[in-house]
Every structure is written in C-alpha cells, then in structure tokens.
Amino acid sequence: MRALVYHGPGQKSWDEVPNPVLIDDTDAIVKVDAATICGSDLHILKGDVPEVTDGRILGHEAVGTVTEVGSYGQCTGGGGWILGHLVDGTQAGYVRVPFADTSTYPAPAGVADEELLMLSDILPTAYEVGVLNGHVQPGDVVAVVGAGPIGLSAIMGADVAIEAVGVAATFELAAAQVRPCGHVANIGVHGQPATLHLEQVWHTDVTITTGLVDTYSTPTLLRLIGNQLDVGRFVTHHFAMNDFVGAYDTFVRAADTGALKVVVTS
Ligand SMILES: [Zn+2]
C-alpha cells in the first residue's frame, strides 16, 4: 500500500510500505476510506513532537471500513494519542488501530464520510478541551485565539479565552485577554515553552486548563451531526489519496489557499 511517511523535521513522502497486520488481540485493521490532515501533523513536521520518529506513517483522523479484527481481549495498555504519533497512522491505504473496541465508533447510516471525519478530532477536541474545560456558559463572551478548524469548532458552541494555535505568542495573548475569574482553555499543541505572566494574573482568579481530547463527547456529537451541527462546511478542499502530498501543500499554505480541512479519499 501507499502511505504518507514522516522522515524527520520538514521531510515527508508518499511511499510504498507493507500493509499493516494484526499484532495485538485488541487491534483492528481498517481500510481508510477518507482521511484528513491535522494541525498536529504540521506540528510534527515542524519538529515540535520529537517522539515521532523517521519512518512513521502520519495521521490520526479517518473514516474507514474494518477489514480484520483481533480476538479482543481486555484492554490493559495505555491509550491517548498514539496513531500517527507513536504507531503508524491513518494517512495510508490501511491502518492498524490499537484498542479498536474503545477507539473506533460505528458510522451512523446516512451521514457522509467527510462529516464523520470532522468528528475524528476537531469537533470533540474543540468541545471537550475548549468549550467544556473553559466552562463556557450561556451569555459568556469567548475569545478564540486562532480561528482555524478547531478554533471555529469551538465557536459552534461565546468570559473565556480559547487558545487554538499552539505557539507561545497565542497562549500569552489568550492569557492577557481573559477577564478576572475567567477561563483560559488551551487546545494548541505546543512544541516550545510559553510564558505565563503570573505577575499580571496571580490576583485575578483565572483558571487555566489544558489537555488532549478524550472523545467522551463523540456519542453526543454524533447525535447532533446532520441536524444541529453542520460540520461539512469545514471541508474546503478534496484530494485523491495518491495526491496526499498535494493535500499537505494546500493545508500548510492555509493563509493563501483558504484551507480549513482537506478531505483525502481512497
Ligand atoms: Zn487531529
């Protein structure tokens, strides 16, 4: 099969690689029908996520068809973000999904793959790590620093500052904007230190939260998709899978191309 492979900071290519095979009882092999590129993938390519090693297939956002499953014993290993990070990811013809019984969701009938794709990371991340961690309440004024795909997802929900970029300047801007007793909810993936100006905020009763998505909100969001949540509008560009490098080129130049989310289909 072919896959989008990371070869160190700034280096990636569309390579011929072996198909994945079942390793653990809790694995599933999934044929990737549609995948997308995340801001996290760009952070990896910037060298912000040093655990990602040369040869890793990138990607953690996809919709696909289960083609093989392990015998599904009790899951005892670690969870969290591993696809396209610590193990090979979804920007490929096929992907091995560890802990598949808890890390995959059945696709509801009648919802397009590209809408479901928006629930593979950006919507639950924005909702859980932005809106819920930020304790956004009706009537609140919310400042979203970085209105990319995740920042815009958080708005669908605005005395809360949501950081959705992942660089020092935007975190410091979010912390400077929040009112006394407000919340700063950090969503961004940070590869460098950021300064918390405690000398300016120590007396202001501000709460700062940060985290990685758990996807506990995914069942709720799946029920809302198609009626209250119009998530298809995040999709700005479409590519065939053999033009994954072109999809990256469009996504990384978002300021020029207007890209929010690119959908890559097999
Ligand atoms: Zn992502």
**Domain range list for the chain:** 2-119+229-265, 122-210
> How far apart are the CA of 190 and the centre of ligand 1, in A?
14
Higher model confidence: residue 126 or residue 52?
Answer: 52
Per-residue pLDDT averaged across 188-216, rounded?
90
> How far apart are the CA of 120 and the centre of ligand 1, in A?
7
Which positions ≥6 away from 96 have C-beta within 8 Å? 20, 21, 22, 23, 27, 28, 29, 30, 87, 88
> How far apart are the CA of 61 and the centre of ligand 1, in A?
6
> How far apart are the CA of 131 and the centre of ligand 1, in A?
17
Q: What is the mean pLDDT of the chain?
A: 89
> How far apart are the CA of 222 and the centre of ligand 1, in A?
17
Residue 50 pLDDT level (bands cut at 50, 70, 90): very high
Output the six-digit token pair for 173. Answer: 């801007």
Q: What is the DSSP letter of 125?
A: I
**45-49, 55-59, 110-114, 205-209, range with greatest mean pLDDT:** 55-59
* C-beta of residue 7 within 8 angstroms of C-beta of residue 30: no
Residue 56, SS3? coil
What is the reported pLDDT for 141?
77
* C-beta of residue 163 within 8 angstroms of C-beta of residue 146: yes
Per-residue pLDDT averaged across 92-99, rounded?
94
Residue 148 pLDDT level (bands cut at 50, 70, 90): low
CATH of 2-119+229-265, one of 3.90.550.10, 3.90.180.10, 3.40.1380.10, 2.40.30.130: 3.90.180.10
> How far apart are the CA of 59 and the centre of ligand 1, in A?
8
What is the reported pLDDT for 151?
60
Q: Is the pLDDT of residue 143 over 90?
A: no
> How far apart are the CA of 150 and the centre of ligand 1, in A?
9
Fold of 122-210: Rossmann fold (3.40.50)
What is the reported pLDDT for 156?
46
